[in-house]
Amino acid sequence: MSPRKDEAEPAGVDFPKLMRRRFVWLVTLAVGLLASVIVAVLVGTLGPIGPGIPEYITFSEALGAIFGLEGDWPAYYSNIFWDVRIPRVLLAAAVGAALACAGTAMQAVFRNPMADPYIVGVSSGASVGAVVAGLSGFATVAVLGALITPALAFTTALLTVFVVYYLGVVGGKVYVNTLLLSGVAVAAFLGAVVSVLIYFSGQQYHRIIFWLLGSLSLASWSAVAVVAIAAAIGIVLVFISSRDMNALLLGEETAHNLGVDPEGLKTLMLVVAAVMTAAAVAFTGVIGFVGLIIPHMVRLVVGADHRVLVPAATLSGAIFLIWTDTIARTVIAPMELPVGIITALCGGPFFLYLLRRNRLAGEV
């Protein structure tokens, strides 16, 4: 079979100009991500940018503490940057990239711009594991306590996805509508389980709610490593499958005629998206709307070609979560908001916009 043109592009397009424009967008996003990381590290209650509570420091002091230069400043400056601020910013970038990439894959599988990484019950499954860990006392175990909650949340998230996938597959064929309904039903059931556990949680209620709303306050280098590895592997696999996802947009029969295995592709994307999402949720709690709004917004700018959409959405997701987390930890300093509240405030109105837009277009 001769190489096919990208099915996601309309006829009559000036492809050289289009590719140059997309290249500029990708370079701009990459530079924007690097700049976001640098600026976000310097923003905070201890730093040259931000509320200055409890201590304001200059740019030279901040850079000196980060790079270990000699200077007249306390040693704990370096500890705050390297043990707290930098891991948190990098974790935000990794989680944002993972959720946005997973959302892009899910929207391709379901052929629906309103699909997100949690559509198969990942968040509900992870919530059950995290709440059980918190209420059982496992999270307070010395040394291993910090790892038990994310490990249990990751495990229950993947088990939930396995159950939903089993319910959505008949005779080796993945039925996306059945999968969607199964995910809704299982998520509702697990949501009820979480509500019951919270009802009997007593004094631990606030700590559990903080996790359920999503927060990066417990970021560590181990969390950065786990999420970054899962995200990197998943992003590569999704990008490699980008041409096949372009074909899938035309329908399963057309994709099959173009040499794509629709069932294998759907299964691979579901597994990859589930693992990336489970790894992210396990360490940060449920951070909503990133995997929904970012792929759709980027699609409006760079088009539906997944060869460009996947890296663009990945970079945009990382930038978005870095800045929403920066707002969350500084807007009411020295206290902080769960970052899930900020993403919901951004994502809720946009989700309603999508519904309205699709209704007007006759798509719903």
The strand pairing partners of 55, in sequence order, are 46
Instruction: Return the structure tokens found at 173.
Output: 């064929």
Q: Is the domain 75-360 a CATH 1.10.3470.10 member?
A: yes
* Model pLDDT for residues 109-154, shown as the tens digit of each residue: 988 877 889 988 999 999 999 888 877 766 555 455 567 888 889 9
pLDDT of amino acid 154: 93
From 322, 314, 313, select the one nearest 284 (Cα to Cα).
Answer: 322
- Domain positions in the chain are 45-74, 75-360
Query: Which has the higher per-residue pLDDT, 357 or 161?
Result: 161
Average pLDDT over residues 71-90: 90
Relative to beta strand 169-170, strand 173-174 is antiparallel
Relative to beta strand 55-56, strand 169-170 is unpaired
- The one-letter amino acid code at 101 reads C
pTM: 0.89
Contact yes or no for 321/293 (Cβ under 8 A) = no
pLDDT of amino acid 4: 47
* Model pLDDT for residues 193-206, shown as the tens digit of each residue: 998 888 877 666 66
State phi, psi for 150 to the nearest 5 degrees: -65, -35
pLDDT of amino acid 10: 52
Residue 364 has pLDDT above 60, yes or no: no
Residue 7: other Cβ atoms inside 10 A: 16
* Model pLDDT for residues 229-265, shown as the tens digit of each residue: 999 999 999 999 999 999 998 888 899 898 999 999 9
pLDDT of amino acid 315: 97
Instruction: Return the structure tokens found at 216.
Output: 């990066």
pLDDT of amino acid 320: 96
Question: What contacts 291, CB < 8 A, 6 or more positions away?
Answer: 99, 100, 102, 103, 104, 106, 116, 117, 118, 277, 317
Query: Which has the higher per-residue pLDDT, 332 or 31?
Result: 31
Which of the residue ranges 2-6, 70-74, 89-93, 106-110 has the most confident prediction, judged by mean pLDDT? 89-93
Q: SS3 string of the chain? A: CCCCCCCCCCCCCCHHHHHHHHHHHHHHHHHHHHHHHHHHHHECCEECECCCCCEECCHHHHHHHHHCCCCCCCCHHHHHHHHHHHHHHHHHHHHHHHHHHHHHHHHHHHCCCCCCHHHHCHHHHHHHHHHHHHHHCHHHCCCCHHHHHHHHHHHHHHHHHHHHHHHHEECCEECHHHHHHHHHHHHHHHHHHHHHHHHCCHHHHHHHHHHHCCCCCCCCHHHHHHHHHHHHHHHHHHHHCHHHHHHHCCCHHHHHHCCCCHHHHHHHHHHHHHHHHHHHHHHHCCCCCHHHHHHHHHHHHHCCCHHHHHHHHHHHHHHHHHHHHHHHHHCCCCCCCCHHHHHHHHHHHHHHHHHHHHHHCCCC
pLDDT of amino acid 327: 93
Contact yes or no for 260/316 (Cβ under 8 A) = no
Question: What contacts 190, CB < 8 A, 6 or more positions away?
Answer: 121, 124, 125, 127, 128, 160
Buried b (16+ CB within 10 A) or exposed e, 93-110: bbbbbbbbbbbbbbbbbb
Residue 363 has pLDDT above 80, yes or no: no
* Mean model confidence pLDDT for the chain: 86
**Least confident range of 70-74, 161-165, 215-219, 244-248:** 70-74
State phi, psi for 239 to the nearest 5 degrees: -65, -40
